[in-house]
Chain A
Amino acid sequence: MNLEEYKGVYVFAQQVDNEISSIAFELLGKAKDLAKDLNTDVTAVLIGSGVKGLADQLAEYGADKVIVVDDPELKDYRTEPYAHALASVINKYKPEIMLVGATAIGRDLGPRVSARVATGLTADCTVLEIGDFPLQAVPGQEQLHNQLLMTRPAFGGNTIATIACPYNRPQMATVRAGVMQKITPIKGAKANVEEFNPGFTPDNKYVEILDIVKAVTNTVDIMDAKILVSGGRGVGSPENFKILEDLAEVLGGTVSCSRAVVDSGWKPKDLQVGQTGKTVRPNVYFAIGISGAIQHVAGMEESDIIIAINKDADAPIFDVADYGVVGDLNKIVPKLTEALKAEIAAAK
């Protein structure tokens, strides 16, 4: 394998029902940074049936080039024809970096393709950067430059590892959704669009899709929620939980609560966080009017980000909060909801 032949940062531009998934734009945003560091360009690989028209959108989000693999066999996602398409693109165009979203599709496609093109794959990355391997020069070992350094949590978030793929190409990573930043779309941007069809011959590996059942969203289990807005006795009344519900709605989150709230009959037991309730680890945990009794903290201290709002500056919740705000929740929470609404509207 001549590593020098491999050039450019490539992104698998996932689409579902011929609509580009948000992860594709996020990957393009990151790919642009990486391409800049490597002084190369960004290519999106668009795979599907009747998807060519989507190329412009990818250009608006930062793709310099779009390779379109368009074939009726690619209508709905199936591992084999998609793996064949992406592996063929890699073999033909030889990218040095291939990014795939760590979605239910990407986490199936990525490993199958990496095994087919015989390279490494790092899963669920949260940080991607260009750097040296080894990180520090080691006597007797050549230090390689311009390597993709892929950082990812492991062991349920107990550890962080940075991985390189120094002697194989492409350097492949699946990237966790919601971590990388999209660029502000450049209206009217155009990419160099190239069509490529490696030919699709169904064999035993082509599975048959008998049915597609779209899920109806039902109530979220607080243990699955990415954002929890949790209230304690400090919220004051069951009616006042409305301001927490409003905040949760803006962020696409879910309301949970402390034991005191359940004991008071304000909320049902299945929303209770803590030793005698549920253990949660959302990306963001708002502790609002929760003092932070030890039994509550035991159920939420593993959350990625803890934001506490409490009027008592000595409340133990501040010992575990990343960001603590001492103040009146009745004044802060409604304003926060409004401010976030405005921010989210502006970002659209």
Chain B
Amino acid sequence: MDFMLSKEHEMARALFKEFAEKEVKPLAQEVDETEVFPRGTVEKMAKLGFLGIPVPKEYGGQGCDPLTYAMCVEELSKVCGTTGVIVSAHTSLCCDPIMTFGTEEQKQKYLVPLAKGEKLGAFGLTEPGAGTDAQGQQTKAVLDGDEWVLNGSKCFITNGKEADVYVIFAITGTVEKRGRMQKEISAFIVEKGTPGFTFGTKEKKMGIRGSSTYELIFTDCRIPKDNMLGQQGKGFNIAMHTLDGGRIGIASQALGLAEGALENTIAYVKERKQFGRAIGAFQNTQFQLADMATKVEAAQLLVYKAAMAKATQKVYSVEAAKAKLYAAEVAMEVTTKAVQLHGGYGYIREYDVERMMRDAKITEIYEGTSEVQRMVISGALLK
């Protein structure tokens, strides 16, 4: 048992941190304020390989492990939750399923440009009536000759209008399971610009406001037969497997937000004076910080453990669920306390903790709410 990061990982962290401080942090406030997708930052990250960190080199990636990727999302999210989720959704939800379930042709055609950052990826599972209940899908795909014809819509899609490649789930039929008829779900790769594939409204959100969240609409959208990802009817498994990885990304985002808020608060309480003393000199402040720091570190250990599990284990659903559940709740708690310790300044947009608290909330909701994580964890306990 060794809790020391390797030198390589330490240096990778230093790289992500430097990039985040220099390239991402200066834009964070503006990105939030204007709700404009940080295209320039994405291009810079693409050049440095940040959009293909866990993808093998032969597919245009960096060939690093999931831990390195998690640290990237963590460091980006320390200064900008929006930038963190852009990388997470692209990598975990689009690159990863194509890497895992794609054919060699699909990998060459889609994974290589995605990993190089020439293209951006997104993932469409959620529908207005199918959130936690992913089986409640309405989008349908019907085979017509050499093409699948998609009809339906997806909502709350991260990287929505900015992506080029989408992993989309749709009903391709019904199957009988234990005497009951169930929907058969399959996964597809859909390219932006395919006729019949359009965008609905852009969501106005509480946090991660620079991320492009859109409704995707499919109206007789015809895609080649070869664009089915994995086997027909295996879509639900693909989605669940993908979300296991995605949760490690979101857990890393939550961890970064909590760390960023803690760092900001430590700096602030040293400088801010009340009653003639720095507020850091008051025991209430000290005890609050101690609790925050302890929880942040506990979250980090869970996140890193889940990332390591992804590298070494075939199944890591429980590790990922625990990491996401805990990191998200810590993010919410720590950012809220950070705002409180900032007092009135914490409530105004000049100070980063205000944004971090808004950004943190979504980590308890997307890619499986905290309640879903508890279902996954307890399900394994009571199996």
Q: Tell me if chain B binds chain A.
A: yes
Interface residues of A (CB under 8 A from B): 259, 276, 294-295, 297-298, 316
Q: Within the assembled complex, what's the spacing in Å between the Cα atoms of A117 and B271?
A: 51
Number of A-B contacts (CB under 8 A): 10
Q: Within the assembled complex, what's the spacing in Å between the Cα atoms of A294 and B270?
A: 10
Size of the chain B interface, CB-CB below 8 angstroms: 6
- Collect the chain B residues with CB atoms within 8 Å of residue A294's CB: 268, 271-272
Minimal beta-carbon separation of B79 from chain A (angstroms): 13
**Cross-chain contact A276 with B271 (CB below 8 angstroms):** no
Kindly state whether residue B176 has any CB partner on chain A within 8 Å: no
Kindly state whether residue B227 has any CB partner on chain A within 8 Å: no
Q: B350 contacts which of A295, A298, A316 (Cβ < 8 Å)?
A: A295
Q: A276 contacts which of B29, B268, B272 (Cβ < 8 Å)?
A: B29
Over the window 21-42 of chain B, the binary record of Cβ atoms lying under 8 Å from chain A Cβ atoms (1 yes, 0 no) is: 0000000010000000000000
* B29, B268, B273, B350: most-surrounded residue (chain A CB, <10 A): B350
Q: List 10 A-B contacts (CB under 8 A).
A: A259-B350, A276-B29, A276-B350, A294-B268, A294-B271, A294-B272, A295-B350, A297-B271, A298-B271, A316-B273
- Collect the chain A residues with CB atoms within 8 Å of residue B29's CB: 276
B residues 113-170 in Cβ contact with A at 8 Å:
none
Q: Nearest residue in B to A275 (C-beta to C-beta)?
A: B350
Q: Nearest residue in A to B26 (C-beta to C-beta)?
A: A276
- Collect the chain B residues with CB atoms within 8 Å of residue A276's CB: 29, 350
Q: Within the assembled complex, what's the spacing in Å between the Cα atoms of A102 and B146?
A: 77
- Collect the chain A residues with CB atoms within 8 Å of residue B350's CB: 259, 276, 295
Minimal beta-carbon separation of A52 from chain B (angstroms): 52
Task: Enumerate the 6 nearest inter-chain pairs by beta-carbon distance, A residue then B residue, closest first.
Answer: A294-B271, A294-B272, A276-B350, A298-B271, A295-B350, A276-B29
Q: Nearest residue in A to B267 (C-beta to C-beta)?
A: A298
Q: Nearest residue in B to A319 (C-beta to C-beta)?
A: B273
Over the window 271-288 of chain B, the binary record of Cβ atoms lying under 8 Å from chain A Cβ atoms (1 yes, 0 no) is: 111000000000000000
Given contacts A259-B350, A294-B272, A295-B350, 7 further A-B contacts (CB under 8 A): A276-B29, A276-B350, A294-B268, A294-B271, A297-B271, A298-B271, A316-B273
Minimal beta-carbon separation of B280 from chain A (angstroms): 13
Minimal beta-carbon separation of A278 from chain B (angstroms): 11
- Collect the chain A residues with CB atoms within 8 Å of residue B271's CB: 294, 297-298
Q: Within the assembled complex, what's the spacing in Å between the Cα atoms of A223 and B29?
A: 22
- Collect the chain B residues with CB atoms within 8 Å of residue A295's CB: 350
Q: Within the assembled complex, what's the spacing in Å between the Cα atoms of A298 and B350?
A: 14
Q: Within the assembled complex, what's the spacing in Å between the Cα atoms of A316 and B272?
A: 11
- Collect the chain B residues with CB atoms within 8 Å of residue A259's CB: 350
- Collect the chain A residues with CB atoms within 8 Å of residue B273's CB: 316
Minimal beta-carbon separation of A29 from chain B (angstroms): 41
Minimal beta-carbon separation of B192 from chain A (angstroms): 35
Minimal beta-carbon separation of B116 from chain A (angstroms): 34
* A259, A295, A316: most-surrounded residue (chain B CB, <10 A): A295
Q: Within the assembled complex, what's the spacing in Å between the Cα atoms of A295 and B272?
A: 10
Q: Nearest residue in A to B271 (C-beta to C-beta)?
A: A294
Q: Within the assembled complex, what's the spacing in Å between the Cα atoms of A295 and B264?
A: 12
Q: Within the assembled complex, what's the spacing in Å between the Cα atoms of A316 and B273?
A: 10
Minimal beta-carbon separation of B254 from chain A (angstroms): 25
Minimal beta-carbon separation of B81 from chain A (angstroms): 18
- Collect the chain B residues with CB atoms within 8 Å of residue A297's CB: 271
Minimal beta-carbon separation of B359 from chain A (angstroms): 18
Q: Within the assembled complex, what's the spacing in Å between the Cα atoms of A188 and B272?
A: 60
B residues 335-360 in Cβ contact with A at 8 Å:
350
Q: Within the assembled complex, what's the spacing in Å between the Cα atoms of A298 and B270?
A: 12
Q: Within the assembled complex, what's the spacing in Å between the Cα atoms of A297 and B350?
A: 15
Minimal beta-carbon separation of A291 from chain B (angstroms): 13
Q: Within the assembled complex, what's the spacing in Å between the Cα atoms of A297 and B273?
A: 13
Q: Nearest residue in B to A259 (C-beta to C-beta)?
A: B350
Minimal beta-carbon separation of B341 from chain A (angstroms): 14
Q: Within the assembled complex, what's the spacing in Å between the Cα atoms of A276 and B29?
A: 10
Q: Within the assembled complex, what's the spacing in Å between the Cα atoms of A73 and B350?
A: 59
- Collect the chain B residues with CB atoms within 8 Å of residue A316's CB: 273
Minimal beta-carbon separation of B326 from chain A (angstroms): 31
Q: Within the assembled complex, what's the spacing in Å between the Cα atoms of A294 and B278?
A: 12
Minimal beta-carbon separation of B25 from chain A (angstroms): 11
Minimal beta-carbon separation of A270 from chain B (angstroms): 13
Minimal beta-carbon separation of A280 from chain B (angstroms): 16
Q: Within the assembled complex, what's the spacing in Å between the Cα atoms of A87 and B350?
A: 58
Q: Within the assembled complex, what's the spacing in Å between the Cα atoms of A297 and B272?
A: 11
Minimal beta-carbon separation of B188 from chain A (angstroms): 45
Q: Within the assembled complex, what's the spacing in Å between the Cα atoms of A297 and B268?
A: 12
Minimal beta-carbon separation of A246 from chain B (angstroms): 31
Minimal beta-carbon separation of A301 from chain B (angstroms): 10
B residues 197-232 in Cβ contact with A at 8 Å:
none
- Collect the chain A residues with CB atoms within 8 Å of residue B268's CB: 294
Over the window 242-279 of chain B, the binary record of Cβ atoms lying under 8 Å from chain A Cβ atoms (1 yes, 0 no) is: 00000000000000000000000000100111000000
- Collect the chain A residues with CB atoms within 8 Å of residue B272's CB: 294
Minimal beta-carbon separation of B204 from chain A (angstroms): 25
* A276, A297, A298: most-surrounded residue (chain B CB, <10 A): A276
Q: Within the assembled complex, what's the spacing in Å between the Cα atoms of A33 and B271?
A: 44
Q: Nearest residue in B to A295 (C-beta to C-beta)?
A: B350
Q: Within the assembled complex, what's the spacing in Å between the Cα atoms of A196 and B268?
A: 63
Q: Within the assembled complex, what's the spacing in Å between the Cα atoms of A298 and B264?
A: 13
Minimal beta-carbon separation of A13 from chain B (angstroms): 43
Q: Nearest residue in B to A263 (C-beta to C-beta)?
A: B350
Minimal beta-carbon separation of A167 from chain B (angstroms): 42
Q: Within the assembled complex, what's the spacing in Å between the Cα atoms of A259 and B348?
A: 14
